[in-house]
Structures are given as C-alpha cells and as structure tokens.
C-alpha cells in the first residue's frame, strides 16, 4: 500500500480506526512520513482530524497510536498467559497433533487408534538408524494417511516427519515455548524409551552432518531462488551429494509433501547453469537501447508531472487553497521521484552487469543431461 501511494496510484488512505493502520508507533511514524512526502493524506473514519491545527492533529494521532500499541501488547500478554495456564493444566497449548482427535476445548484429546499404530511404526523404523526422514514420510504416505497441515498438504514430507519425531506430546509431556510445563492429561502413544532412541539417532546424524560440512567449500548456486520445476511449478532447491563433489537442483515438492508429475526430480547444477550461460552469451542489446531507455524515461517524467500537479491541486482544495504549500509539495515530490528514479536505473544496470559476470565466471562446461527439464524465469529446457 505504501509503495502504491508513492507511485501516485491514489491520494487518500481511509481507515476505520488508526490502530488498523499500524499498531507499532515506530512503523506508524515511518509510514506517515513516507505518505506525507508522497502527498497522500491518511484519514480515520472514527477519529477525524480535519480542521485541527498541525500540532493538535499530531497530538491526537500520537495518542491514538500509543493506545493502539498498548492494546496490542496487552492482548498478546493476556493471550500468552491464557495458553500457559491451559498448558499447566495438562491440556495442549496449540494444534492437536497427528494421532489424536479433539474432544472439546476443556478435555484432553482422544487417541486415534489407526494413526497411533502407524506412528509407533514410524518411530520404530527411524530408531533402527537406517531410515531417512523421507523413508518415514513414504511409510506414512503409502498407507493413506495425511498430515494435519494448515497449508493443506496431502502428503508427509521431511519437515513434517521431523516435527513428529521431536514432539514430546506423544510421550505425555506438555511443552509451552520450548519448556516442559506439565504432564498431559492425554494418553501417550509412544514410550519414553522409544522416543529417546529416536532422539539419539537424530543427534548422531546432526553431529555427522556438521562434521561433513567442515572444510567444505561453499558453492554459489547461480539459479538459487530462481529455478522452478517444469512438472509442478515448485521451487528447485540447491543441494550437494557425495560430500560436496556433486551439485544438484532438486524439486522440493515431494520433500515438502506435495505431488510432482516428473519422474526424475533432480538435475546437475553444472549442466543447467551451462545452459543459462549460453543464453546470456547469445543475448545482445539492440544498437538503439540507450535512446529507447531515454525516450521512455522522458515519457514517464511527463506523466508523473501531470499526476503531481493534479494531486497537489486536490490537496490544496482540501486545505482551503494553500497554493504556496501545494507548490512546495510539488517541488519536494519531484525531487524525491527523480532521486528514486536515478537510484533504480543505476541498480538495474548494476544487477544486469553482475548477473552476466556471474553467469560467465561461475559455470563449468558439461553436456546437458538428456531429459533434463527445469524452468528459469519464463524459459524452459527440454
């Protein structure tokens, strides 16, 4: 909204109450200053300040923002105290986990027998020490169970399984903000002995992973945060194998508990990045690119000047014809927009140069794998 205001998409923001605009005085002050520089008026339906002097309006708005922040902090404290009191009574202080079913707000959750049985199987498999998180996820998925996911994910993934294996609720403990505060009123479905065996395996693997990463050279992934899977549209995660000797982009959908239609969900990073390098090498600017940019910039300046004058006229009319103040706002806003425009232009040129340099310097030559499919921006590779 603030960015739209600075882009001159509107000249007034109307909120029901000021606490709907911001409940943090620091944020409110920053946003108000940005709106004022953009010539945008902030109005409250329940607390009107039209007709007040600048000092009176400042005092009124400051008090409203202070009360709004106080209300937000007080509400958070009361909510936290309520949840803690509930946890100390032995009731869950949060969502009911997989394996249980709610019996009401004041009652301990009930065990779902089928889910409890498959949970014990999952814990047993991981405790042996040769099953990965994704192995356990697959064990749960093939039996037709679905996680209790707020995102609506139909499949278990490694993050879901990690949370299950670390959840002390299954052994009868109630945890609030990382602290065991009570013994739950619910029936445990996992023995403490089995739970501790699983934690031992998790700790050994964590230590081994940290040891393997020591001394490893950090590799820059050219397409990290950019490449997406051609099969499902999910992000491609960058990772390595064989102690850092091989680097891949891998579809994250299955790991996150989503479906993907592609059979092979990973591709060698070197090969994909080589393809991107070839694209950059073949790309050339048109000879008149500088003139075209200059022409577009001039047209944009003309449109912005018209918008500034129009909005200043409206603001002047609202303030009773303060033409001198309107002219000053026009000058200030024009300077601000020119500065932002210059900064954006320099930034875009620098980014383009850096990306071309990275594409040229960081990619090694290998043959593109047959059947490799990935999407980089709007480009696809088959």
Predicted pLDDT at 272 = 80
Predicted pLDDT at 216 = 55
Predicted pLDDT at 51 = 66
> What span, in angstroms and rounded, lies between the C-alpha atoms of 320 and 221?
58
For the chain, which residues make up each domain, given as ranges? 2-85, 100-213, 289-361
DSSP state letter for 216: P
Q: How many residues does the chain have?
A: 382
Note whether 97 and 164 are within 8 A (CB): yes
Residues of the chain with pLDDT under 70: 17-20, 22-25, 45-51, 150-152, 209-218, 241-245, 254-257, 264-265, 284-286, 289, 299-382
Predicted pLDDT at 211 = 58
- The domain covering 2-85 belongs, at the CATH homologous superfamily level, to Resolvase, N-terminal catalytic domain (3.40.50.1390)
3 state DSSP class of 265: coil
195-199 long-range CB contacts below 8 Å, 24 or more apart?
Answer: 195/123, 195/168, 195/170, 195/171, 197/127, 198/123, 198/126, 198/127, 198/165, 199/166
**Residues 6+ away with beta carbon under 8 Å from 271:** 366, 367, 368, 369, 372
3 state DSSP class of 223: coil
Assess whether the region 2-85 and the region 100-213 belong to the same CATH fold. no
The answer to whether the Cα torsion of 211, 217, 218, 223 is positive or negative is negative
> What span, in angstroms and rounded, lies between the C-alpha atoms of 107 and 227?
47
Predicted pLDDT at 285 = 66
> What span, in angstroms and rounded, lies between the C-alpha atoms of 201 and 178?
21
> What span, in angstroms and rounded, lies between the C-alpha atoms of 103 and 168?
20
Direct distance between the N- and C-terminal alpha carbons of the chain, in angstroms, rounded to an integer: 40
Predicted pLDDT at 247 = 79
DSSP-assigned states of every residue in 153-205: --S--HHHHHHHHT-GGGGTEEEETTEEEEE-SSPPSS-HHHHHHHHHHHHHH
> What span, in angstroms and rounded, lies between the C-alpha atoms of 135 and 336?
56
CATH, domain 100-213, list 3.90.1750.20, 3.20.20.70, 3.50.50.60, 3.40.50.300: 3.90.1750.20
Q: Smallest Cα–Cα separation from 1: which of 310, 15, 184?
A: 15
């Amino acid at each position: 909204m603030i960015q739209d205001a600075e882009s001159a998409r509107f000249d007034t923001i109307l909120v029901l109450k000021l606490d709907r605009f911001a409940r943090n005085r620091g944020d409110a002050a920053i946003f108000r200053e940005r709106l004022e520089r953009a010539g945008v008026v902030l109005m409250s339906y329940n607390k009107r300040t039209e007709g007040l002097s600048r000092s009176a309006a400042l005092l009124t708005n400051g008090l409203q923002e202070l009360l709004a922040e106080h209300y937000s902090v007080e509400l958070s404290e009361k909510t936290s105290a309520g949840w803690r009191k509930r946890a100390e009574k032995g009731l869950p202080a949060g969502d009911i986990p997989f394996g249980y079913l709610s019996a009401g707000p004041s009652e301990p959750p009930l065990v779902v027998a089928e889910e409890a049985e498959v949970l014990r199987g999952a814990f047993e498999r991981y405790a042996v020490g040769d099953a990965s998180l994704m192995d356990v996820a697959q064990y749960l998925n093939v039996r037709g169970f679905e996680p209790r996911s707020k995102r609506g994910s139909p499949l278990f993934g490694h993050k879901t399984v990690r949370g299950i294996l670390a959840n002390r609720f299954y052994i009868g403990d109630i945890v609030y903000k990382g602290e065991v505060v009570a013994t739950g009123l619910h029936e445990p479905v996992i023995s403490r002995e089995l739970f501790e065996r699983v934690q031992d395996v998790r700790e050994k693997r964590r230590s081994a992973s940290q040891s393997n990463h020591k001394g490893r050279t950090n590799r820059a992934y050219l397409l990290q945060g950019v490449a997406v899977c051609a099969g499902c549209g999910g992000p491609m995660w960058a990772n390595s194998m064989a102690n850092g000797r091989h680097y891949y982009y891998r579809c994250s959908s299955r790991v996150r508990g989503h479906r993907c239609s592609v059979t092979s969900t990973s591709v060698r990073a070197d090969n994909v990045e080589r393809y991107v390098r070839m694209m950059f090498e073949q790309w050339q600017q048109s000879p008149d690119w500088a003139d075209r940019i200059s022409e577009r910039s001039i047209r944009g300046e003309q449109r912005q000047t018209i918008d500034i004058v129009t909005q200043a006229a409206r603001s002047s009319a609202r303030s009773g014809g303060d033409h001198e103040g309107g002219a000053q706002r026009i000058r200030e806003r024009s300077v601000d927009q020119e500065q932002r425009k210059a900064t954006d232009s320099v930034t875009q040129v620098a980014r383009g140069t850096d990306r071309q340099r990275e594409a040229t310097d960081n990619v090694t030559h290998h043959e593109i794998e047959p059947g490799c499919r990935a999407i980089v921006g709007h480009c696809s590779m088959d």
